[in-house]
Amino acid sequence: MNAETIVGTSAQRVDVKDKATGQALYAADIQLPGMLYGKVVRCWEHAHARVVRLDLSQAAKSPGVVKVLGPADVTRNKYNSSVMDLMVSAQLHDLLGDIDDQDIFTTHVKYQGDAICGIIARSEEAAERAAAKVIVEYEPLPVYLSAAASKQPDAIQFTPQKPGNRAFQLPEAMFPGNALGGGDVDAAMQDADIVVEDVFYVPKQKQCQMEPHAYIAKLDSGGRLTCWTSSQMPKLVQAKLARLFELPMSRVKINATVIGGGFGARLGMISEPQACAMAMAVPGHPVKLQTLREEDWAISPSRHPGKYWMKIGLRKDGTPLACDARFENYKGAYYLDASGTAFTAGAWLGGMYKFPALRYKGESYFTNQGLTGAFRGYGNPQTNFALEQLIDRACAQVGADPVEWRKKWHKGVGDDGWCAGVTYPSCALDECLDRGAAAIDWAEKRRKYANQTGTKRRGVGCAVMNHTSGAMPMLLEHTVCTVKINEDATAEVIFACSDMGQGSHTALKQIAAETLGFPFGDVQLANPGSDAGFDIGAHASRTIYVGGAAVKAACEDAKRQLFARASEALQVPADELDIRDKKIFVKSDPARSIDVESITRAGVYHFIDPMTGKPEGAPGQIQGYVSFFAPHNSPPFGASFAEVEVDTETGEVRVLELVNAHDIGRAINPAAVEGQLEGGIQQGLGFVLSEETYYDSQGRMLNNSFTDYKMFGPSDMPKIKTILVENADPVGPFGAKSVGESGLVSPVGAVANAIYHALGIQFMEAPITPEKVLKGINEKGLGGSRERLGAC
């Protein structure tokens, strides 16, 4: 039994009242004296074009306009709105080939929504009116919406730095043959009794965070540039802006505002460069820049779509021999995150099953679609859609039960995880599979649904996943935390990592209170943005595993100092002391104790007794500090089970139940963990069944609003059962591993496999819409009351 009293409880979220009552201050809510309003004029007519004429004269004369800015009026320095290049060494940066290819305002439009110029006005309305008076003439260029189109020899090059419009491939110097993995794949495939392969398409899914992007920037009289932003990574945005505008970091300040949903949509920068460029044009005035929903949809990155080729080989007894795969993603207009998903999609693949031979190639190609970048799961849902369907197809061919096969052949403790040499220190996937299968009544329903007829047919499917708890070792993992103990024995934890709305600050506060031995209410978490110590930011599901470990270490530092002073007062060695409810006591004799406040108050109000000349206690305010580098990475595992009902006349797929069993190490706040997993299910169901951003042949978005983009709403959601499998990890703080992204992943494969079980048909393109289901049914000759085809 765990001895903790705060960790492991569903403490109320620290921000719940402010958000429930509307008091939480988002960037768009902020009003400052002398505020001006910015408007970015974007190209909505074309997805690929050159600007041949830009006339700002009429816009400049429009009432209320303070200034207009074209490409020549702002820095011509190029940038990369991703911050990934700051998280790797100079050597790795060179190998990955990151480039800066974005302009604040462009003359070469590469996607619909690219920024052309800016308006600064005294009101939003005046800025809008002036924007309508901007005259732009374009030379349309050919539009490339897929990798196959943009890599044609005669295609216009997006940048001379990336010939053939290939933004990225796994570098030969790190991955011989430009491939991740090992073993002789070709020879192993020759030895295989069963080989299954296919080509999959994975969709361009949007994060759909509730808060549209909004920014405020101001250049003050001292020459300091301040930006209010809800970026998930304020410290790295500070560094990026300093580099872009050639300012020392001390003259760039980031105020982190409340985040209205992240999911990767706020990784790095979006419109911070435009907002800051406008503010620098009108020193002393804050400039607010706020996007419309349709604009937000176009300019912020989405999930990487693309083609995924995969082939697996097994012996007839089910023994896995080889896996061969290639993911060719459609990068969109600019380089940002080109190396990321191209690599991680293969990393999740390599981390899942015991294939003795594995070869994965990842490539990114520029296209004239909107930007792609981070989205919860970061390459993992794409891999799960392809891999888990092929596993079920192979199981059907060798006559193996999909659950039992996965239990036998998934990787576990001691095996390499998503990177070679970084082994799994914990794994409770077997328990996830057992408990999940029992919860959905797997065996009985597999038997019951094996030979169906009729219009509506049901199926159950399962899928598994591994993910990550941070980005170590590929990316830097560094978090600084300071814990200040006040004189009244309360504590402030100063930390730069953002809470994206998932409740991470509540869990971090629980970790701090538990470690210090203070009541939960006596600990406050402060996030002063870039004025805090260094932190990479909220990404890669790292906040609790890495950030929590940093908070724990800083609190242990503060506690060591408290114990040292208590040891002197009580005249016992510090290692014989313990603390509870701000009372430090001798473990063998709890009656001998000292209040923490008597130590902390004496440290701050340090007086000399005038009668004796002796000091009252030890001097100095106690502060704990750590500059923490994660020593390891303990990925979570998960198993999902889905039951679906497919209408063979309409093609509609209804998910009846979704069981998500997750190996999360230890739940710091169980309610928050369950919330994360349930939110992940909603996005995973959208990926596999309904969500995609569509374009017409000219690269113009067709569904850039909540009206036309189909997410799963409350009435679409199935019955959900969340199972927290707690098997404390030996590395994570209090045994915790990550949960932020992973809940989205395995529902993808589970639903696809449940459809396979219901119909005997696998679908290679996500989302599996009713139209695709009907097409598949017609192609198979399955429908109405006819017998089902295939076996699985």
Catalytic residues: 741
CB 335 within 8 A of CB 310: no
Q: Classify each residue of 676-697 as buried b or exposed e, where b means 16 or more C-beta atoms within 10 Å of its C-beta.
A: bbebbbbbbbbbbbbbbbebee
What is the pairing mode between strands 287-290 and 36-42?
parallel
Distance CA 259, CA 714 (A): 23
List C-alpha distances in Å: 569 to 582, 592, 595.
Answer: 15, 10, 11
What is the pairing mode between strands 523-526 and 491-494?
parallel
Q: Residue with structure tokens 């198993």?
A: 639
Distance CA 731, CA 549 (A): 9
Beta strands across the sheet bearing 135-140: 108-109, 49-55, 135-140
List C-alpha distances in Å: 103 to 24, 79, 95, 229, 590.
Answer: 33, 7, 24, 20, 65
- The DSSP-derived string for 527-575 is --GGGS--B--S-TT-IIIIIHHHHHHHHHHHHHHHHHHHHHHHTS-GG
426: how many CB neighbours lie within 10 A of its CB?
20
Q: What is the 3-state secondary structure (H, E, C) of 723-741?
A: EEECCCCCCCHHHCCCCCC
For the CA atoms of 774, 778, 781, 784, the dihedral, rounded to the nearest 10 degrees, stands at 50
Instruction: Name the helix (H) or strand (E) containing 253.
Output: strand 252-256
45: how many CB neighbours lie within 10 A of its CB?
13
Q: Per the structure block, which two tokens stand in for 785?
A: 């009351």
CB 507 within 8 A of CB 544: yes
Distance CA 49, CA 141 (A): 5
Distance CA 206, CA 375 (A): 8
Q: How many CA atoms lie within 13 A of 564 on its CB side?
A: 11
List C-alpha distances in Å: 72 to 76, 109, 284, 459.
Answer: 7, 16, 22, 60
Q: Residue with structure tokens 């009244």?
A: 488
Distance CA 552, CA 7 (A): 12
Q: Per the structure block, which two tokens stand in for 764?
A: 């290679």
List C-alpha distances in Å: 532 to 17, 267, 493, 528, 560.
Answer: 25, 18, 10, 6, 23
Show the CA angle centred on residue 404, arms to residues 403 and 409, nearest 5°.
Answer: 100
Q: Which of 571, 586, 579, 614 is nearest to 600 (CA)?
A: 579
